[in-house]
Amino acid sequence: MNTNYIGKGTSRVDGREKVTGQAKYAAEFTAEGMTHAFVVSSRIAKGKIKSIDASAALELEGVLDVFTHKNRPKLAWYDKSYQDEDSPPGSPFRPLYDSEIQFSMQPIALVVAETFELARYGASLVQVEYEEESHTTNLKANREKAYNPKKYKSGEPPKSRGNMEEAFAGAAAKVDQEYFHTSEHHNPMEMHASTVVWEDDGTMTIYDKTQSVKNSQNYIKKIFDLSTKDARVISPFVGGAFGSGLRPQYQLFLAVMAALALERSVKLVLTRQQMFSFGHRPATIQHLQLGASKDGNLLAAKHEAFAETSRFEDYAENVVVWQNTLYKCDNVAFDYKLVGLDVYTPLDMRAPGGVTGMYALESAMDELAVAAGIDPVELRLKNYTEKDQNEDAPFTSKELKECYRQAAEKFGWEKRNPEPRSMRDGHKLVGWGMASAAWEATQQEASAKAQLTADGKLIVSSATADIGTGTYTVMTQLAAETLGLPLEDVTFKLGDSTLPYAPLEGGSWTVSSVGSAVKKVCDAIGERLLKFSRKLPGSPFALAGLEEVKFENGMMKLKSDPSKGFYIKDIMQQRELDVIEEEVTSKPASEQKNYAPYAHAAVFVEVKVDEDFGTITVSRVVSGVAAGRVINTKTSRSQILGGIVWGIGMALEEESFMDNTFGRFMNHNLAEYHVPVNADVHDIEVIFVEEHDEIVNPIGAKGLGEIGIVGVAAAIANAVYHATGKRVRDLPITLDKVM
């Protein structure tokens, strides 16, 4: 038995459950007497409901009720009651609150029936009359209405430094360009769903698709005036979320409302079309000005963004902060404005703002390299910064230089002819492009509980989520390694609001935050074991402190003489202990405040372009990633691969088509909303660059959930330029833009 798991490619502990269909998702739970609900969605984008007639639906046998703004139960009315952990400043959307329509596909009625089919049919019979008002959904056409929000959810523009205008005017090499990308939707495979089980004692067990059971629970507690006991939220498995589960979505609200009103169990699953009716990555226009000296030293940089938000909340993300993180420059200016449109509030989507901001910044850097006649990697190295200029703080660690070096070498970058259109593969043009990437690696407060039982089995738990990233596996590894137990003897529990607090499963901070709590609670158990073992006959630990022992192969051993020790099971049995239990909260160390925590990556891409058709193939990607300690090489690699594949989608395919006449997204199904298929994905290589970080958090690991997608779109756009000589500054780069 070997109980060293950190840094190994441990297979998913829940893999078998998943592939055999044992893993249950929110919509798969059921209970006796389950009723089914279906949402009626608004046809218009703005206006009022003049009348709503549900009589035909109500006449159907088996339809239990139809909820609308007219007959909904009493609801909380303070904005605060509707705010959740991920709410931007503003006034959150309240389903069925009044007759106001604020966006197309807004839920305006809920039909509850004995069967799903009946509920759906009932929904089709609900007659709605609208008083239409003219709506605005076009970001580009409404740019002059942009404003600076009073408060930024995140991504507040950094302070200007130096004199950007003057330095830019005097620069030898310049870029002054605008970049654009459209709205995109998260589109996880699993639709958003909530199954509310009405228990005999009048409490509710709620199975919800969410990235935080605590967030879901608090949300409904506040709105429906419930106690913690009234509503337990459970979410053991999530079929992808990518940010869509960071905020409680309206199916949770509606299912709970109906269950409370009917005192029945209710299941509500959104349709794929309805998955296009809430948060999305906001369409954004970015203006970049970069100026450099002849030899490529950055003299001036300006980054401005104009992004869509809803009329009711000011959503903002980290778009314009990356120049300060990536490149040294003394004359900088930033701005970030929002444009209110008649759409739902945008929502964090994998590396929110990062993929966006670095798409523009890294494209502009490529243009600057061309303007200055310098190799793109060299330009980046020249302007490399050892300090994050946002906070004027050193990095907790930064091996980005190694990322460039190792990835460039693997890719064969030195063979690149800088001349556009200089490389060919038969009929096709070949292009090589690269980009840098960074993403935050913060630690949040998190709690965890551990129970060690007499049989030597350990259960560790925290109310976090596993959205497919591998949380179950990594936490199990961390706990097993800390206490030297075999993996099979360790169970990690998550996704239950009765468990200790964990932050939202987002921001790439789960391993760092929950992982630190897991390690800490296991250390606490270790400490207890040590105490118990000191008094055992012949104990080698009588005088030992925790730092003098190690846990390995089911045993506690003396570090100085590993032949001396006890089996953990024996300690428990000899001291007649049934269980040792600990619960801890782990908070970021105050020392962290003096440093800037970031993961970094360098992405190198080869594309092949058929100019006759404008079609682009991403034939090769090499990504060098520096993200501290890699806990699990297998799940980490999966995260980066997934990020790169999504980056391909973002660069070339993904686009939610907004029809501005109807104010509605039109390609609301997966046949028409394109994400990469297997045939689009070719050779991808992931390199994890060694990086030691003692500061970032107690386990030294930076998150990997988001860094993989950052930079990919820019690298592809840069490669397309290198292949064709044509700079497309508008994502996705569909064939019509290249041909």
Partner 1 sequence: MNQFEYTRPTKQKAALEQKAKSPATKFIAGGTNLIDLMKHGVENPQKLVDINRLPLHKIEQTKTGLRIGALVANSTVAEDKQVLEKFPLLSQALVSGASAQLRHMATVGGNIMQRTRCYYFYDTALPCNKREPGSGCGALEGINRIHAIFGFSDKCIAVHPSDMCVALAALDAKVLVTGPNGDRSISFLDFHRLPGDQPEKDTNLGPDELILAVDIPASPFTKNVHYLKVRERASYAFALVSVAAALDIENNTIRNARLAMGGVAHKPWRLLGAEKALIGKQVSEEVFQQAAAVAMQGAKAFEHNEYKLKLAPNSIVQALKNAAGMA
Catalytic residues: 706
Strand order across the beta sheet in which 63-67 lies: 63-67, 107-113, 35-41, 266-269, 193-198, 204-208, 231-234
Closest CB 653 distance from partner 1, rounded Å: 6
Question: Which H or E element spans position 636?
Answer: helix 633-652
Using DSSP, state whether 17 is helix, strand or coil.
helix
Closest CA to 46 of 96, 91, 103: 103
List of residues 6+ apart from 21 with CB closer than 8 A: none
Coil, strand, or helix at residue 548?
helix
677, 683, 694, 725: residue in contact with partner 1 (rule CB under 8 A):
677
Query: Other CB atoms closer than 10 Å to residue 150's CB: what's the count?
Result: 8
Query: Can you tell me the distance from the alpha carbon of 209 to that of 24, in angstroms, rounded to the nearest whole number?
Result: 11
> Which residues within the stretch 120-139 sit at the binding site for partner 1 (CB under 8 A)?
121, 124
Pick the piece of the chain touching partner 1 (CB under 8 A) from 118-126, 178-186, 568-576, 717-725: 118-126
Task: Find the shortest distance in angstroms from Cβ 660 to partner 1.
Answer: 9
Q: Is 726 in the site for partner 1 (CB under 8 A)?
A: no
Q: For residues 40 and 67, give the distance between their C-alpha atoms in angstroms, rounded to a whole number.
A: 10
Closest CB 437 distance from partner 1, rounded Å? 24
Whether residue 571 contacts residue 485, with contact meaning beta carbons closer than 8 Å, is answered with no
- 567 scored as a contact of partner 1 (CB under 8 A): no
Stretch that binds partner 1, among 372-380, 550-558, 580-588, 656-664 (CB under 8 A): 656-664
Least Å distance between CB 40 and partner 1?
10
At 378, which helix (H) or strand (E)? helix 376-382
**Among the residue ranges 184-192, 252-260, 673-681, 692-700, the one whose residues contact partner 1 (CB under 8 A):** 673-681
Min dist CB 304 to partner 1, Å, is 28
Q: Considering the rule CB under 8 A, would residue 736 count as an interface residue with partner 1?
A: yes
**Identified binder of partner 1 from the candidate list 190, 304, 489, 653, rule CB under 8 A:** 653
- Binding flag, residue 427, partner 1 (CB under 8 A): yes
Footprint on residues 36-95 left by partner 1 (CB under 8 A): 41, 43, 60
Q: Is 587 in the site for partner 1 (CB under 8 A)?
A: no
Q: Residue 74: count other Cβ atoms within 10 Å of its Cβ.
A: 7
Torsions phi, psi of 72, nearest 5?
A: -65, 155
When the beta carbons of 477 and 617 are compared against partner 1, the nearer one is 617
Query: Any contact of residue 166 with partner 1 (CB under 8 A)?
Result: no
Could you give the string, one character per residue 606-645, with x where binding to partner 1 holds by CB under 8 A and - elsewhere? ------xxxx-x----------------------------
Q: Is 661 in the site for partner 1 (CB under 8 A)?
A: yes
Does position 468 bind partner 1 by CB under 8 A? Answer: no
Q: How far apart are CA 366 and CA 717, in angstroms?
A: 10
Task: Map the footprint of partner 1 across residues 278-317, applying CB under 8 A.
Answer: none
CA–CA separation, 265 vs 29, rounded Å?
A: 11
- What span, in angstroms and rounded, lies between the C-alpha atoms of 548 and 535? 17
Q: Which stretch binds partner 1 (CB under 8 A): 371-379, 522-530, 675-683, 712-720?
A: 675-683
Closest by CA position to 37, among listed 187, 196, 188: 196
- By CB under 8 A, residue 678 contacts partner 1: yes
Residue reference for tokens 């939220």: 233
Separation CA 309–CA 329 (nearest Å): 30
Q: Is 662 in the site for partner 1 (CB under 8 A)?
A: yes
Q: Is 455 in the site for partner 1 (CB under 8 A)?
A: no
Only one of the segments 470-478, 538-546, 654-662, 695-703 lies at the binding site for partner 1 (rule: CB under 8 A); that segment is: 654-662
> In the bound complex, what is the minimum distance in angstroms from residue 137's beta carbon to partner 1?
12
Among residues 528, 547, 448, the alpha carbon closest in space to that of 491 is found at: 448
- Choose, by CB under 8 A, the member of 185, 247, 569, 664 that binds partner 1: 664
- Strand pairing class (598-610; 615-626): antiparallel
User: Rounded to the nearest whole angstrom, what is the least distance from the CB of residue 678 to partner 1 in the complex?
Assistant: 7
Give the CB-side neighbour count of residue 395, counting CA atoms within 13 A: 26
The residues of the shown chain that bind partner 1, judged by CB under 8 A, are 41, 43, 60, 117-118, 121, 124, 273, 426-427, 612-615, 617, 652-653, 657, 659, 661-662, 664, 666-669, 671-672, 674, 676-680, 734-736, 739
